[in-house]
Structure 1
Amino acid sequence: MYELIQTGEKSWYIKNPANVGVYDLGGGEVCLIDAGNDKEAGRKILKKVTEAGWRVSCIINTHSNADHVGGNQFIQSRTGCRVLSTDIENAIARHPELESSLLYGGYPYAELRNKFLLAKPTESTEEIESALPPGLEIIKLPGHYLDMIGIMADDGTCFLADAIFSADIITKYHIIFIYDVAKFLATLEMLERLKAKIFIPAHNEATTDIKELIAVNRAKVHEIAALICDICAAPKSFERILKEVFDHYGLTMDHNQYVLVGSTIKSYLSWLHDSGRLNIEFIDNEMLWSRVKEC
């Protein structure tokens, strides 16, 4: 863990639960792509970079989930580096309480105010469009989160954030967090055409071919959609649908899983409704979802 692995003439990544990219800007300065999940991860990342003889000039946050921005505060406080991302992801990095509020759908109760859902706030951020270091290109990767991006380096290394997940993660957890299912699928389609020498997903080993991973991710989305349609053969409330999804996959519900999986299932319900496959009814002051015959 926290091994520095070279992937191109100017690019490396630090292997950890959410891989962190390193791009050599020249003159002893580097740009990090993401920053780990908390202060301790930030400390280890900065130590690894410093031992290699580099200074952190900036951090690019691909998106503002806590496991990608949790190390921002520590690294920025120690180095004075800039933190760059898109406008909405910057806002959540500066005000991380927005993430747990978004997932829960209201003010998060005490058990949801934990480091997995609530990163330490980033002191200052900049809009990436006007501050992107030379040699790097932004790739739009919507779907997993609000305005997630990837980064293509000029040496052919492509940092893919959470656009695709490993087969092991999908097999173990089944439900990967998705904010917008339609955009997630569109991003997978775009990735099939994307050319790079090597791809670095945040939650998978670096690879030169992502087609198999794309297929696994896409198949699981359609599997879950079909499951929800089957569950909704008779009208069901959201809570009932969520329980049946957990039971089907043998998942264990806790506070974090309730909001992460629950928010994702709500996104599936929205997608299935908007695409004409689920109906919504209000009966006896209860919101019920039911399958359209053609689902």
Structure 2
Amino acid sequence: MNRFIMANPSPVEVFSSNELQFDDLKIEILDLPGHSVNQKGFLVDGVAFVADTLFPDNFFNKQRLPFNYDPNSHAQTLEKLRKIEAKHYIGGHFLPQNSISTLIANNLSHLNESLSFMRDLLKTPMPQDRVVKAFLDHYGLKKTNWEYFLYRATVNGYLSSLHKHGEIKYRVFDNLPVWYAV
């Protein structure tokens, strides 16, 4: 193996429990899917580390649409967060909080609006790249280069999630996937 191209593999230990114990420190592992595949958080001594599950209002004012590989799973994760009792919440996209109920409500509202827009949009069949353009236009976003592909991946997550739940379908016409509401 070329040490300049690829590092030596790291040892991996798979845990089947949702809890880790180090002496007298107990760490509860939280399954938080939706934003990314197999996203995890932790609950330790009254502090919930909730990873990339929540975004502040200033994010929605600027970017409008957070990346979610599976928006329906993300919605379930947001509902799960309501039940996590902690003194403090720490996430990847917001300052530490003592309560996240407002963040959860705002994130769910934006997510549900995006899902609703997608469902309404696909009442008229359209190719995937037109769906991406419609999303960007709807939110008043002008993206170029790599940002476009990040948003395209986000829209793909919405399409895939709605397809998995039987709300939309697609067919390939003239080598283009065309999506439509069921």
Cα deviation for residue 226 of structure 1 reads 1.5
How many residue pairs are counted as aligned between the two chains?
172
Aligned residue runs from structure 1 range 1-295, under 5 A: 124=10, 126-127=12-13, 129=15, 132=20, 134=22, 135=25, 136-154=27-45, 156-292=46-182
Q: Tell me, which stretches of 5 or more residues in structure 2 are unaligned? A: 1-5
Distance 1:256 1:157, change over 3 A: same
Cα deviation for residue 285 of structure 1 reads 2.8
Alpha-carbon separation, structure 2, partners of 1:227 and 1:122? 46
Q: Tell me, which stretches of 5 or more residues in structure 1 are unaligned? A: 1-94, 96-120
| SS state at 1:138 partner | strand
Counterpart residue identity of residue 141, structure 1: L
Counterpart residue identity of residue 113, structure 2: E
Query: Taking CA–CA contacts closer than 8 Å with sequence separation of 6 or more, which of the two structures ends up with the larger relative contact order?
Result: 2
Cα offsets for 1:115-160 (capped at 9, x unmatched) = xxxxxx7963533638x56222211111111111111112x11111
Residue in structure 1 matched with residue 3 of structure 2 by the alignment? none
Cα offsets for 1:206-257 (capped at 9, x unmatched) = 1111111111111111111121222222210110110111111121222322
RMSD over equivalenced CA pairs, Å: 2.2
Identity, % of aligned pairs? 33
Distance 1:127 1:250, change over 3 A: farther
Q: Normalised by the size of structure 2, how large is the TM-score?
A: 0.84
Alpha-carbon separation, structure 2, partners of 1:140 and 1:241? 30
Cα deviation for residue 275 of structure 1 reads 2.2
Alpha-carbon separation, structure 1, partners of 2:170 and 2:55? 31
Q: Normalised by the size of structure 1, how large is the TM-score?
A: 0.54
